[in-house]
């Protein structure tokens, strides 16, 4: 058992955002729940902040059940907080350590548990609000770029460029010496992406028919080397048209639809790679590797302020229904943060 001689007295209950039934934002309630207990090699985290993700919306709607072992009715898959207690054999983090990372669920509450190997130390450059907006966006973007073998000089096409993942990807591509191209249906959102390091943006409000020619214009006629598709549906066909030979597509989201018709002949001729990715359902060993890769490659960039989280709005836990409505409006730029505490 870890030595918790200096442990503080913990409450027996906590506030949690609870999905009382599948439905709209009004089904969310703030309820008192027992504190979760950390199992072997798990830590109990006093959550200072979490952030909204599409997975939270889908879970509330009854369309995306959490993985086995996660709370079925408490959303939240990313958090920033401090270690409050440790389970048997959990000696990696001292009590009070500031950590952030991804969990399978339950992060939108005062306390949550995580395996000690799946969280990372928060750099001093980030306060609680900033740290709360980092894990899902930056781990997703960095992992996708790594899977696509994105290299310095590569042109990377990023759909939904003003989303949390999109803006993280823009910054990471820029920091790695690549060229970030983006799509959005909002001119204002594209201006925010340019400020983050996007080289050029494509207005998708009138459709995607001109996308391939636009990409080739901005890549010397070659096309994009990598594409991060956070939208899905008809975007996949347009993305394939816009890729260079040996291009790589990472499928990350399906907001525009979970099915697509693709030109197989073009895939063959260009010798393309199309790969899907998801973080939430990965096995523990892989999630631990993800956390270590994030600590090694992204956290130093956050500490040096070469990259930074982009936050649209911050809500207290009691206003989580309003946060859900805002995310569902598709009008946000960057992340929507839920704060459990008011500590800086």
Domain 139-276, CATH among 3.40.50.300, 3.40.50.720, 3.40.630.10, 1.20.272.10: 3.40.50.720
- pLDDT of 325 > 90? The answer is yes
Query: Quick one: CA dihedral 66, 67, 69, 70, positive or negative?
Result: negative
Q: Evaluate whether 255 touches 230 at the Cβ level (below 8 Å).
A: yes
Per-residue pLDDT, averaged over 86-113, amounts to: 98
**Count of helices and strands (H, E) across the chain:** 11, 15
Give the whole-angstrom CA distance, residue 174 versus residue 197: 6
List pLDDT tens digits, range 116-153.
999 999 999 999 999 999 999 999 999 999 999 999 99
DSSP state of 182: E
In the three-class reduction of DSSP (H, G, I as helix; E, B as strand; rest coil), residue 57 is classed as helix
Helix (H, G, I), strand (E, B) or coil at 143: helix
**Residue 194: per-residue pLDDT:** 97
Residue 343: per-residue pLDDT: 87
What is residue 225's predicted lDDT score, i.e. its pLDDT?
98
Phi, psi of 262 (to 5 degrees): -125, 150
How is the chain split into domains, by residue range? 13-134+281-339, 139-276
What is the DSSP secondary-structure string of 63-80? Answer: SSPPPTTS-SS---SEEE
pLDDT of residue 7: 57
CATH of domain 13-134+281-339: 3.90.180.10
Q: Which of 48, 47, 109, 102 is nearest to 75 (CA)?
A: 109
Residue 3 has pLDDT above 90, yes or no: no
> Taking 50 as the threshold, does the pLDDT of residue 86 lie above it?
yes
Do residues 74 and 113 touch, judged by C-beta distance below 8 A? no
Q: Parallel, antiparallel, or unpaired for β 179-184 and 200-203?
A: parallel
Task: Flag whether pLDDT at 341 surpasses 80.
Answer: yes
pLDDT digits (tens, 9 = 90+) for 269-319: 999 999 999 999 899 999 999 999 999 999 999 999 999 999 999 999 999
Give the helix ranges, DSSP H, for the chain: 54-60, 128-132, 135-147, 164-175, 187-196, 211-217, 235-242, 264-270, 284-297, 299-303, 320-328
Mean local confidence (pLDDT), 251-255 = 93
pLDDT tens-digit series, residues 153-193: 999 999 999 999 999 999 999 999 999 999 999 999 999 99
Dihedral of alpha carbons 182, 336, 138, 298, sign: positive
**Residue 23 pLDDT > 50:** yes
Q: How confident is the model at residue 4 (pLDDT cuts 50, 70, 90)?
A: low
Least confident of 65-74, 81-90, 95-104, 116-125: 65-74
Q: Is the pLDDT of residue 251 over 80?
A: yes
Phi, psi angle pair for 254, to nearest 5°: -135, 35
Tens digit of each residue's pLDDT (9 = 90 or more) over 221-248: 999 999 999 999 999 999 999 999 999 9
CA 189 to chain CA centroid, nearest Å? 18
Q: What average pLDDT does range 104-119 have in this prediction? A: 98
Residue 5 above 70 pLDDT?
Answer: no
pTM score, two decimals?
0.95
Nearest to 79 by CA among 51, 53, 56, 54: 51
Q: Which two tokens stand for residue 61?
A: 């709607």
Distance, CA of 103 to CA of 115 (rounded, Å): 9
Q: What is the reported pLDDT for 27?
A: 98
> Do 139-276 and 13-134+281-339 have the same topology in CATH?
no
pLDDT of amino acid 2: 52
Q: Could you give the CA distance from residue 58 to residue 219 in angstroms, rounded to a whole number? A: 36
Confidence band for 6, pLDDT divided at 50, 70 and 90? very low
So what's the pLDDT on residue 344?
Answer: 84
Q: What is the mean pLDDT of the chain?
A: 96
């Amino acid at each position: 058992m870890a030595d918790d001689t200096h442990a503080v007295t913990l409450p027996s209950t906590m506030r949690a955002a609870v999905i009382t039934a599948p439905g709209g934002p009004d089904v969310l309630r703030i309820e008192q729940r027992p504190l979760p207990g950390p199992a072997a090699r798990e830590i109990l985290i006093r959550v200072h902040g979490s952030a909204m993700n599409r997975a939270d919306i889908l879970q509330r709607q009854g369309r995306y059940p959490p993985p086995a072992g996660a709370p079925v009715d408490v959303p939240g898959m990313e958090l920033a907080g401090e270690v409050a207690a440790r389970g048997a054999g959990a000696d990696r983090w001292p009590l009070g350590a500031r950590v952030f990372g991804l969990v399978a669920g339950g992060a939108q509450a005062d306390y949550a548990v995580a395996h000690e190997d799946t969280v990372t130390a928060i750099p001093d450059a980030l306060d609680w609000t900033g740290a709360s907006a980092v894990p899902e966006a930056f781990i997703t973007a960095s992992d996708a770029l790594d899977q696509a073998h994105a290299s310095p000089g590569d042109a990377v096409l990023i759909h939904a460029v003003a989303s949390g993942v999109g803006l993280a990807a823009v910054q990471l591509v820029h920091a790695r010496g690549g060229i970030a191209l983006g799509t959005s249906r909002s001119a204002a959102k594209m201006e925010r992406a340019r400020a983050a390091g996007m080289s050029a943006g494509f207005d998708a409000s009138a459709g995607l028919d001109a996308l391939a020619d636009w990409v080739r214009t901005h890549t010397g006629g070659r096309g994009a080397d990598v594409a991060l598709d956070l939208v899905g549906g008809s975007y996949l066909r347009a993305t394939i048209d816009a890729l260079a030979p040996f291009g790589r597509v990472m499928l990350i989201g399906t907001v525009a639809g979970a099915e697509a018709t693709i030109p197989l002949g073009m895939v063959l001729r260009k010798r393309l790679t199309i790969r899907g990715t998801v973080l939430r359902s990965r096995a523990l060993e892989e999630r631990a590797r993800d956390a270590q890769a994030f600590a090694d490659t992204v956290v130093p960039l956050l500490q040096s302020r070469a990259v930074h989280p982009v936050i649209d709005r911050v809500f207290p836990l009691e206003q989580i229904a309003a946060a859900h409505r805002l995310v569902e409006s598709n009008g946000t730029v960057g992340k929507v943060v839920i704060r459990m505490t008011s500590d800086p």
